[in-house]
């Protein structure tokens, strides 16, 4: 979001002493803090010894990544990640662990990554995800952004040292 004038009182905006874009009207409190957006991500362990990776319909072919999503209002991240897994790949999953927080600077997001497990039946009902692949732990490659780091941490916890590839900005 970019502001050319104050969204509250329509005055001009300027960089304030703390370095934030803020309203110049001294009676108005508007400051554009640009707080990061929280996002949940799921490393889905699918049946024993595999990771499920998903392809977003908007991405170039052959790019598979974690299931991610925004939290709904007041939603706990653990419930959000299980909801996203259910919505995007149709699986009833369970939380196995928390993999940490990761920054995705390009999108100003803070990613909360979970290890979840499911052995259910995959159903692609959400048009956002058009393909998945099931990859044995020893063949999973990770990537150089927040969710890739979360996947790498998971694999390392299982004793694997994954190859890290670079496919640009996708998380
Ligand atoms: Zn203002």
Least confident among 65-69, 141-145, 150-154: 141-145
CA of 25 to the centre of ligand 1 (A): 6
User: According to CATH, what is the number of the domain 37-165?
Assistant: 3.90.79.10
Query: Is 125 a residue whose pLDDT tops 50?
Result: yes
Better pLDDT: 62 or 89: 89
Count CB neighbours of 30 within 10 A: 17
Amino acid 170: pLDDT: 47
- Distance, CA 20 to ligand 1 centroid (Å)? 14
pLDDT at 94: 98
Q: What is the pLDDT of residue 16?
A: 94
* pLDDT digits 0-9 by tens, 67-86: 999 999 999 999 999 999 99
5 C-alpha to ligand 1 centroid (Å): 8
* Local confidence band at 168 (pLDDT 50, 70, 90 cut-offs): low
Task: Kindly give the distance from the C-alpha atom of residue 82 to the centroid of ligand 1, in angstroms, as a whole number.
Answer: 40
Handedness of CA 57, 59, 63, 65 (dihedral sign): negative
Q: In the structure encoding, which two tokens stand for residue 11, read together?
A: 């005055």
**pTM recorded for the entire structure:** 0.88
Ligand 1 centroid, distance to 106 Cα (angstroms):
27
The CA-atom distances, in angstroms, between 46 and each of 7, 31, 42, 144 are 46, 44, 11, 23
Residue bearing tokens 């996203």: 84
Domain ranges for the chain: 1-34, 37-165
How many angstroms does the Cα of residue 16 sit away from the middle of ligand 1?
13
Provide the pLDDT for residue 167.
66
Query: If you average pLDDT over residues 100-106, what whole number do you get?
Result: 93
Q: How far is the CA of 33 from the centre of ligand 1 (A)?
A: 14
């Amino acid at each position: 979001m970019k502001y050319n004038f104050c969204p509250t009182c329509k005055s001009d905006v300027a960089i304030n002493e703390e370095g934030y874009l803020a309203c110049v009207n001294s009676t108005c409190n508007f400051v554009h803090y640009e707080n990061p957006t929280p996002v949940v991500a799921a490393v889905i362990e699918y049946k024993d010894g595999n990771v499920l990776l998903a392809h977003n319909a908007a991405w170039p072919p052959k790019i598979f990544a974690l299931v991610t999503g925004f939290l709904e209002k007041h939603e706990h991240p653990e419930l959000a990640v299980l909801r996203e897994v259910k919505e995007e790949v149709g699986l009833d999953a369970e939380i196995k662990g928390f993999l940490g927080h990761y920054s995705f600077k390009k999108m100003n997001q803070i990613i909360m990554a979970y290890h979840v497990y499911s052995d259910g039946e995959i159903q692609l009902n959400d048009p956002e995800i058009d393909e998945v692949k099931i990859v044995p732990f020893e063949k999973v490659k990770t990537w150089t952004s927040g969710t890739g780091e979360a996947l790498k941490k998971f694999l390392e916890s299982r004793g694997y040292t994954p190859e890290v590839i670079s496919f640009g900005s996708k998380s």
